[in-house]
């Protein structure tokens, strides 16, 4: 099966699904990281990172749902999946989670931008709503934290249901998607916090996030290694699928995009450059772009290489 860019015949899950997985991962990873830091540090104020994470989370999940709807055979009838549920279907369970997650993220975003809303007279109508929401803010944040992890994991469970594709049909995939979502989501929120909300490059939140980058990256590498080794030591069909890591265009995407840009890029920027440069604004943004780009390449590799190397 040859790959051609676009909505390719013979590809069950085309590029809009990969983009949706990308956006959903960033959304869940960003807001989960912000809420975890808020709980861990006992924060009560809306910090720059919290605002950035809430905004990114809401925007990316909205764009992700747009991609998902446009990929439907009949996009105008998307409302049916919101009405008819089958609890034996992974997709239906995911829709239920998203139906709760999206409005809750919208509420969290509203609370995060209370200060900015108060400065805009035209938005004063929202202030009574914000005041009422403050009483249930903590339960909402707990629910969003759980749902954010569920959304990241759900994207892995969803595509792993394709049993003919050994690369995709693995129980490790949800864990990999959670780890990569947190990595890219936190990187996106950090860049937005510094650029738009004037977060200090070396603030306590930034230092905490920087220290967490390496264990999360190590977890991603471990999960990818587990997938590769399970294919390499599996049956004939799985061993054939293992060739996706070293044969064809998608092997290039894996080694250049995922490994080279996603993993080696941040490592080189932090450890193989001068200390002065590694602590600079340029290195900060370059490292963040590497993390986000590597995550997108990972989603594309999993989706397309997984389907091209079927049993």
pLDDT at 61: 94
Distance CA 119, CA 198 (A): 18
Decide: 217 and 180 in contact? Cβ < 8 Å.
Answer: no
DSSP label at residue 244: G
Distance CA 11, CA 174 (A): 21
For 15-308, the fitting CATH number among 1.20.1630.10, 3.40.50.300, 3.40.30.10, 3.50.50.100 is 1.20.1630.10
Q: Please, what are the averages of pLDDT over each run of 10 residues along the chain (311 residues)?
A: 39 79 94 95 93 97 86 62 62 78 94 92 89 92 95 79 78 92 95 93 89 93 94 88 90 96 91 67 91 94 85 64
pLDDT at 56: 97
pLDDT at 6: 38
Distance CA 11, CA 308 (A): 8
Nearest to 150 by CA among 203, 104, 211, 83: 104
Ordered by start, the domain boundaries in the chain are 15-308
pLDDT at 8: 45
Total residues found in the chain within this entry: 311
pLDDT at 22: 92
* Conformation bin of residue 248: beta by default, left when phi > 0, alpha when psi is -120 to 50: left
Q: What is the CA radius of gyration of the chain?
A: 20
Give the angle subtended at the CA of 28 by the CAs of 83 and 142, to the nearest 5°.
85
SS3 279: coil
pLDDT at 161: 65
Distance CA 217, CA 228 (A): 17
DSSP string of 107-171, one letter each residue: HHHHHHTHHHHHT-GGGGGGHHHHHHHGGGHHHHHHHHHHHHHHHHHHHHHHHHT-TT-TTTS-T
């Amino acid at each position: 099966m040859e790959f051609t860019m676009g909505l390719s015949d013979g590809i069950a899950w085309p590029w809009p699904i990969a983009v949706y997985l990308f956006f959903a991962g960033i959304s869940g990873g960003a807001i989960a990281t912000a809420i975890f830091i808020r709980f861990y540090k006992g924060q009560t104020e809306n910090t720059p990172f919290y605002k950035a994470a809430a905004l990114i989370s809401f925007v990316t999940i909205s764009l992700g749902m747009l991609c998902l709807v446009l990929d439907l055979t009949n996009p105008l009838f998307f409302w049916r999946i919101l009405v008819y549920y089958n609890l034996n279907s992974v997709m239906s369970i995911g829709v239920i989670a998203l139906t709760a997650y999206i409005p809750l993220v919208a509420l969290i975003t509203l609370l995060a931008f209370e200060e900015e809303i108060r400065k805009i007279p035209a938005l004063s109508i929202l202030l009574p709503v914000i005041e009422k929401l403050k009483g249930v803010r903590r339960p909402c944040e707990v629910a969003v934290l759980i749902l954010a992890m569920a959304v990241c994991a759900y994207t892995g469970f969803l595509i792993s249901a394709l049993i003919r594709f050994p690369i995709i049909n693995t129980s490790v995939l949800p864990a990999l998607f959670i780890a990569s979502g947190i990595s890219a989501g936190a990187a996106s929120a950090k860049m937005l916090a510094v650029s738009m909300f004037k977060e200090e490059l070396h603030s306590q939140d930034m230092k905490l996030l920087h220290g967490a980058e390496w264990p999360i990256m190590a977890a991603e590498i471990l999960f990818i290694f587990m997938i590769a080794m399970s294919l390499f030591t599996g049956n004939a069909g799985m061993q054939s699928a293992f060739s996706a890591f070293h044969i064809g265009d998608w092997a290039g995407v894996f080694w250049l995009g995922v490994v080279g840009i996603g993993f080696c890029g941040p490592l080189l920027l932090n450890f193989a450059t001068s200390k002065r440069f590694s602590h600079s604004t340029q290195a900060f943004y370059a490292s963040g772009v590497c993390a986000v780009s590597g995550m997108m390449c990972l989603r594309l590799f999993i989706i397309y290489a997984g389907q091209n190397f079927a049993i």
